[in-house]
Amino acid sequence: MIEELYRDFKREAEAVGSNVYRVENADQALVLITELLGKWESDRKPQGLEVAWQRGPIMADAQGSIAIRGRVHEENLPHFSKEADVGIAEVDLAIADTGTLAQNATDVVKRYVTTLPELNILLLTADKLVRSMEEAFAVMKPVETPFLAFITGPSRTADIERVLTLGVHGPEWLWIIFVGGEGA
Amino acid sequence: MAKSVLKKDIDVALQNENLGGALDRFADDYVISRAKAYGDLDFQEIRKDIIEAKNYAIEHLAELADQFTKEAEKKGAIVYRAHSPQEVKDYIAKLAVERDVKTIVKSKSMATEEIHLNKYLIEKGITTKETDLGEWIIQLAGHRPSHMVMPAIHLTREEVADIFSKEIDERLESDIPRLVKVAKKELRPYYFAAGMGITGANMAVAESGTLVLVTNEGNARLVATMPPIHVAVVGLEKLVASIDDVPKILKALPRSATSQKLTSYVTVINGPVPTLVEGQEQPKELHIILMDNNRSKMQSDPLFKEALRCIRCASCLNVCPVYRLVGGHVFGHVYAGGIGTILTNYFNDFEETADIQALCIFCGRCQEFCPADIPLPDMILKLREDKAEEEGLSTIEKAIFEGVMTNRKRFHGLLKVASKGQKPFAAKDAPYIRHLPLFLAGHTKDRSLPTIADVPLRDRLKKKSEGGSGTNENR
Amino acid sequence: MKTDKTPIKKVALYAGCLIDFVYPDLGEDIIEVLNHFGVEVVFPEGQTCCGAPAKYSGAKSSAIKLAQQNVEALDNPEYDAIVSACPTCIIVVRDDFLKLLGDDPKYSEGAKRIHEKTRDFTDLVMELAGEEKWAELMEGPKVTYHDSCHYNRSLGLKGVARKALTELAGSELIEMEGSDLCCGMGGSYTVKFPELSAPILARKLSSVEQSGADVVAMDCPGCLMQIGGGLDKQNSKVVAKHTATILAEALRKRKS
């Protein structure tokens, strides 16, 4: 079931411009992030990326930091998010039908990290996959959570001549990393 | 008078090749991309759910408004019940003054467009910045929206480049991704400078005082996060009874509006959220303005109350053969197209506004695509009837209907005269009139008219039955 | 005849202005086809314009007067059905008469009876035809079908007409793009806004031409006037015909 959900999620998420990855544990996630950002950095910002990383329970045990030329900030995140190229945060749930992530974003830091930088890396555990929005509503407490965010791909607009453009006020790139679970 | 203004506006729109091209491409693409987004989903089932949820809300509108108010206040929001546009404007202006707000950022809200909020605040000396790309474009251009979802659809990229170039005083290429980056860069500082953020809401859940925002650009998230005050302006028709109604509407809204399975962002807000003011965390001030502006008047009309089911997807515009030709500035005021005709009638004053309901051709395509199955043609026809009753018919129409058509013998007699009188204009080789003279020439410009038959059906059948063979002969 | 409702033996033909005064041949085609099924067709002389032009101009009092005149002409227990081949008329006769006269003690019963009896011609034909076939499939002309707005959206009969054309008349049916897009007639709309009616028609004509069909069929005389007139203006080889005409032609061919 989880395999089917993951497959559907990946397909839907990629269709809206997200990149989807899967690793076995937090350490592997760190390795992957380092690798991907290293390439990103040399392609796009050789002078060094600015990264705002809100390390949550998933990545708490990952050893070390992200080895890139630029700077990785884990403190004072609202401040650093403003100029950061990359925002890394953790989310709570994925919805397979639409390639959507759900995050209890009441914590203001989560919101700064996920709305300001142009590249978002969002992590979640592989068992947090559901089929539909209805199921997500049953899990996520939509009548209580002060700020409940559903994220489906990068920000976008078609306001000029209906030409789809990714990356408007929110992120232009969204990388999703599932951590743990079977068959990673 | 209104009719000739309309005619002129139509001409201007039809001559505008940019507009025509944009609308044409859109109309052709929309049906295809929408079908793709719906895929195998059963549109009729989705409609059923939406109709049920919205009808319940409409029947219990006052009750739900009270319940929403109570629940949202329990969570710490301040809820203001505004009856008129002026009350909304005064409330926001007063709040801004009291809190010493010099700059406001806004994300897209048709409700605020409806009451021309920005104009009012700017006149009061408060910088009010639209952050939704399409809304910002038209704010800079000084235009009204021409579409409920894509307000700047009537402009080409070159026109947008010109508008942006003027704004930032730098010659810009009409490269769309570049233009979008310009918008992002220009608007970004305002989220932090603003003392207040104003959003709309797509849904307001009564049982829990919850707001739901359905967006794509990311600006609503910023508007609802950074400034210390968040004001949400919400029309009463956005109310739904239960949180379970939200996924039902979400099934249709993105698919019908922008052919997406889901928008990039769906934001669910319950009460004030933490915010940062000068690095210090504090709870935001959340004001929710529930706006009436004649929505309860609509609710009391057995026909027009069905228009309160509208989820603002704009599919009716997207499939309308007339909207496609003239766009939302002609076929609309603030709201455009089929639903625009109805909403404008209740939410806005008419006066010099051209009589847009005259533009409906009654093809019914709007209703076919409406996720809430709103009987738009029936409603537009009722508006037409009401108008005819109020203003009376034109002299010609009066003569034709009351003078001729309701008198059968006179009517048929005149047709007989016409069948003789048309002879000089009838073609020799086929039963057509290909060229009418003088001021009537326009009527045969694009298609030939058929001739009136020498002997109408009724006379042929009469002849036959008098001649003995009858109309009921089995051959 | 296959029907599990009232057996249709005698019907009143409600022609409507266009069929009565502009396309009387079409009226005769309708009668011919119905006669074939053993149905007697009468033409109540008191019938007059259904009032659709008044309706769509908001002229309610005229619409009421015309409704009354027509109820007087059509309300007759002898008629098993009231048959029309104009969808706009059908909606007015079947539904609007009842709405307009529902509170009028003199006419409300009559309007109700008419509401229950009013039928579309092609729909009735398919009911009567059962398994009959008048031509082998693909033996008939290459036909593309225009879904008239009221026929499709208000009466829901888009499938019925196609079935009649292929199964009864053996037409080779080729779908055009946007078959359900409006032709731009809109009744009096084409007179009030010719500048809008024309581009809408142009799109329809283009789809018709591109379909490769020889004939464009439809079940509405208003569309027939608009599309037929447009094709004539363009000197097109494509001919516009009402479904009733195609059926009558197939019937005649079979009998000859």
Confidence of residue B5 (pLDDT cuts 50, 70, 90): confident
Strands annotated E in B162-237: 196-199, 203-205, 210-215, 229-235
First to last CA, chain B: 58
CB neighbourhood size of B206 (10 A): 25
List b or e across B382-419, with b for residues whose CB sees 16 or more CB atoms inside 10 angstroms.
bbbbebbeeeebeeebeebbbebbbebeebbeebbeeb
pLDDT average, residue stretch B125-144 = 93
**Residue B102: which pLDDT band, with cuts at 50, 70 and 90?**
very high
**What distance in Å separates residue C24's CA from the closest CA in chain B?**
5
Q: Which residues contact B85 (CB under 8 A, 6 or more apart)?
A: B114, B115, B116, B291, B293
Letter for the amino acid at C32?
Answer: E
Mutate to test the interface with C, among B320, B361, B445 (most CBs of C within 10 A): B361
Q: Please check whether residues C143 and C251 belong to one and the same domain.
A: yes
Q: Identify all chain B residues contacting A137, using CB atoms and an 8 Å cutoff.
A: 243-244, 246-247
Same structural domain, C140 and C247: yes
Do residues B275 and B225 make contact, with C-beta atoms less than 8 angstroms apart?
A: yes
Q: Give how far A48 is from chain B: nearest CA, Å.
A: 21
pLDDT at res. B471: 47
CA angle (C216 as vertex; C210, C217 as ends), nearest 5: 150
User: What are the tens digits of pLDDT across the range B312-346?
Assistant: 999 999 999 999 999 988 888 888 888 988 998 88
The answer to whether B457 contacts C19, with C-beta atoms less than 8 Å apart, is: yes
SS3 state at A132: coil
Span(s) in chain B for CATH 3.40.50.10420: 2-296
- CA torsion sign for A117, A130, B266, B323 is positive
Confidence at residue A184, expressed as pLDDT on a 0 to 100 scale: 43
Q: Does B176 touch chain A (CB under 8 A)?
A: yes
State the smallest CA–CA distance between residue C20 and chain B in angstroms.
Answer: 5
CATH of the domain at C245: 3.40.50.1860
Q: Identify the helix (H) or strand (E) that includes residue B438.
A: none
Region label for B438, one of left (φ > 0), alpha (ψ between -120 and 50) or beta (otherwise): left
Contacts of B318 in chain C (CB under 8 A): none
Q: Does B188 touch chain A (CB under 8 A)?
A: yes
Output the six-digit token pair for B250.
């979400």
* Burial (CB count <10 Å: 0-12, 13-18, 19+), residue A178: buried
Asked, for residue C38, whether it belongs to a domain, the answer is yes
Q: Which domain holds residue C174?
A: 133-255
Contacts of C220 (CB under 8 A, 6+ apart): C86, C87, C88, C148, C150, C151, C242
- Cα(A53)–Cα(A51) distance, rounded to whole angstroms? 6
Contact A147 B155 (CB under 8 A): no
Residues C43 and C95 in one domain: yes
Asked if B209 contacts B270 with a C-beta cutoff of 8 angstroms, the reply is yes
Can you give the pLDDT at residue C57?
87
CA torsion, ordered B119, B125, B128, B129, to nearest 10 deg:
110
Query: Which domains, and CATH codes, for chain A?
Result: 2-179 (3.40.50.10420)
In a domain, C182, yes or no: yes
Q: Inter-chain contact C49–B358, Cβ cutoff 8 Å?
A: no
Q: Are A8 and A95 in contact (CB under 8 A)?
A: no
**How much is the pLDDT for C5?**
62
How many angstroms from the chain centroid is the CA of residue C155?
Answer: 11
CA contacts within 13 A on the Cβ side of A90: 15
Distance from the Cα of residue B444 to its chain's centroid: 33
Tell me if B339 sits within 8 A of B316, measured CB to CB. yes
Query: What distances in angstroms separate CA C124 from CA C11, C80, C119, one per listed residue?
Result: 11, 12, 7
pLDDT, mean of residues B34-49: 97
Q: How far apart are CA C103 and CA A71, in angstroms?
A: 80
Task: Identify the DSSP state of B128.
Answer: E
| Touching status, chains A and C (3+ beta-carbon pairs under 8 Å) | no
Residue B458 Cα, gap to closest chain C Cα (Å): 6
| A39-43 long-range Cβ contacts below 8 angstroms, 24+ apart | A40/A86, A40/A119, A41/A68, A41/A69, A41/A70
Residue B463 CB-density burial (10 A; 0-12 exposed, 13-18 middle, 19+ buried): exposed
SS3 A174: strand
If asked whether residues C137 and C249 sit together in one domain, one would say: yes
Nearest Cα to B329, choosing from B167, B134, B146? B146
Q: Cβ distance B328 to B152 under 8 Å?
A: no
Q: In what order do the strands lie in the sheet containing B229-235?
A: B78-82, B285-291, B229-235, B196-199, B103-106, B127-130
Residue A182 has what pLDDT?
Answer: 59
Whether residue C174 is found in the same domain as residue C247: yes
**Nearest-by-Cβ selection for C43 from B362, B412, B471:** B471
Q: Which fold has domain B2-296?
A: Rossmann fold (3.40.50)
- Alpha-carbon distance B329 to B19, whole Å? 11
Which of B44, B359, B373, B401 best tests the C interface by mutation, with the highest count of C CBs <10 A? B401
Domain boundary among C103, C126, C149: C126
CATH of the domain at C73: 3.40.50
Q: Which of A83, A91, A160, A174 is best to mutate for the B interface (most B CBs within 10 A)? A: A160
Residue B445 pLDDT level (bands cut at 50, 70, 90):
confident
Closest CA–CA distance from residue C194 to any residue of chain B (Å): 7
CA–CA distance, B210 with B240 (Å, rounded to integer) = 10
Same structural domain, C14 and C39: yes
C-alpha distances in Å from residue A50, one per residue of A64, A112, A177, B191, C107: 17, 14, 20, 21, 81
Whether B74 has its CB under 8 Å from any CB of chain A: the answer is: no
| Residue found by looking up tokens 């409600």 in the block | C14
* B83 close to B292: Cβ distance less than 8 angstroms: yes
SS (HEC) of A100-116: EEEEECCCHHHHHHHHC
SS3 A170: coil
Rounded to 10 deg, the angle between the B61-74 and B43-59 helix axes is: 80
| Closest residue by Cα to residue C5 from C116, C134, C95 | C116
> Which residue in B155, B264, B265 has the most chain A C-beta atoms within 10 A of its own C-beta, making it the best mutation to test that interface?
B264
> Which SS3 state, helix, strand or coil, does residue C50 take?
coil
Q: Find chain B residues with C-beta within 8 A of C121's C-beta.
A: none
Q: How confident is the model at residue C135 (pLDDT cuts 50, 70, 90)?
A: confident
Is residue B352 predicted with pLDDT exceeding 90? no
Domain count, chain C: 2
A146, A152, A162 ranked by CB distance to B269: nearest: A146
pLDDT score for C2: 37
Number of H helices, E strands in chain C: 14, 8
List the 113-172 stretch of C: residues with Cβ below 8 A of B: 149-150, 153-154
β-strands C215-218, C118-120 pairing = unpaired
pLDDT at C25 over 60: yes
C20 touches chain B (CB under 8 A): yes
The verdict on a CB contact (< 8 Å) between B388 and C59 is: yes
Given CB atoms, is B277 within the 8 Å cutoff of chain A?
A: no
Whether residue C11 contacts residue C39, with contact meaning beta carbons closer than 8 Å, is answered with yes
Q: What is the pLDDT of residue B3?
A: 72
Q: Which of C36, C40, C57, C218 to mutate to test the interface with B (most CBs of B within 10 A)?
A: C57
Looking at the structure, do residues C157 and C116 belong to the same domain, yes or no?
Answer: no
- B8-28 confidence digits (pLDDT tens): 999 999 999 888 888 888 899
ipTM for the assembly: 0.96
The mean-pLDDT minimum among A17-26, B293-302, B421-430 falls in B421-430
Task: List the helix and strand counts (H, then E) for chain B.
Answer: 21, 14
What integer pLDDT is reported at residue B475 of this predicted model?
A: 24
pLDDT given at position B2:
57
Query: Are C110 and C145 in the same domain?
Result: no
Written as one letter, the residue type at B88 is V
| Mean pLDDT of the region C180-192 | 93
Reported as a pLDDT band with limits 50, 70 and 90, residue B350 is: low
Under 8 Å CB pairs connecting chains A and B tally to: 174
Q: Which residues contact residue B24 at a Cβ distance below 8 angstroms, ignoring those fewer than 6 apart?
A: B324
- Name the residue facing B247 among A137, A156, A158 (closest C-beta): A137
Q: Nearest chain B Cα to C42, which residue?
A: B471
C244, part of any domain: yes
Residues from chain A that touch B21, judged by Cβ atoms under 8 A, are none
How far out from the chain centre does Cα C66 lie? Answer: 20
Inter-chain touch B217–A157, beta carbons under 8 Å? yes
Cβ B444–C21 below 8 Å, yes or no? no
Rg, C-alpha atoms of chain B: 27
Mean pLDDT computed over B139-167: 90
Start-to-end Cα distance in chain C:
23
CA pair distance C153, B472, nearest whole angstrom: 32
Shortest CB distance from A143 goes to which of B132, B151, B208? B208
- Per-residue confidence band for B169, with pLDDT thresholds at 50, 70 and 90: confident
| Cα radius of gyration (chain A) | 16
- pLDDT band at B349, cuts 50/70/90? low
Q: Which residue of B has its CA nearest to C27?
A: B457
Contact between residue B6 and residue C192 where contact means Cβ atoms under 8 Å apart: no
Q: What confidence tens digit (pLDDT) does each residue in B215-268 have?
A: 999 999 999 999 999 999 999 999 999 999 999 999 999 999 999 999 999 999
Written as six digits, the tokens of C108 are: 């409300």
Mean pLDDT of chain C: 94
Distance CA C15, CA C9 (A): 18
Furthest-apart CA atoms within chain C: distance in Å: 54
B344-357 burial by CB neighbour count: b if 16+ within 10 A, else e?
bbebbeeeeebbbb
Say yes or no for a CB contact (<8 Å) between A160 and B243: no
**Quick one: which H or E segment has residue A147?**
strand A147-151
HSE-up of B379 (CA within 13 Å, CB side)?
A: 25
* Mean pLDDT of the B74-100 span: 97
Of B11, B368, B448, the CB nearest to C232: B448
Phi-psi region of C178 (alpha: psi -120 to 50; beta: other; left: phi over 0): left
Q: Out of A131-140, B135-144, B457-466, C197-206, pick the least confident.
A: B457-466
Cβ distance B274 to A108 less than 8 Å, yes or no, reads yes
B247 vs A: CB within 8 A: yes
Shortest Cα distance, chain A CAs vs residue B25, angstroms: 9
Mean pLDDT of B127-133: 94
Same domain, C248 and C139: yes
Query: Taking 50 as the threshold, does the pLDDT of residue B470 lie above it?
Result: no
Q: How far is residue B31's CA from residue B34's CA, in Å, rounded to a whole number?
A: 5
* C53 lies within 8 A of chain B by CB: yes
| pLDDT at residue B354 greater than cutoff 70 | no
Give C137 or A49, the one with higher predicted confidence: A49
Per-residue pLDDT tens digits of chain A, which is 184 residues long: 789 999 999 999 999 999 999 999 999 999 999 999 999 999 999 999 999 999 999 999 898 999 999 999 999 999 999 999 999 999 999 999 999 999 999 999 999 999 999 999 999 999 999 999 999 999 999 999 999 999 999 999 999 888 889 999 999 999 999 999 754 4
What is the rounded average pLDDT for all residues in chain A?
Answer: 95
Residue C214 clears pLDDT 80, i.e. is over it: yes
For chains A and B, having 3+ Cβ pairs within 8 Å is answered: yes
- Beta pairing, strands A173-179 & A156-157: unpaired
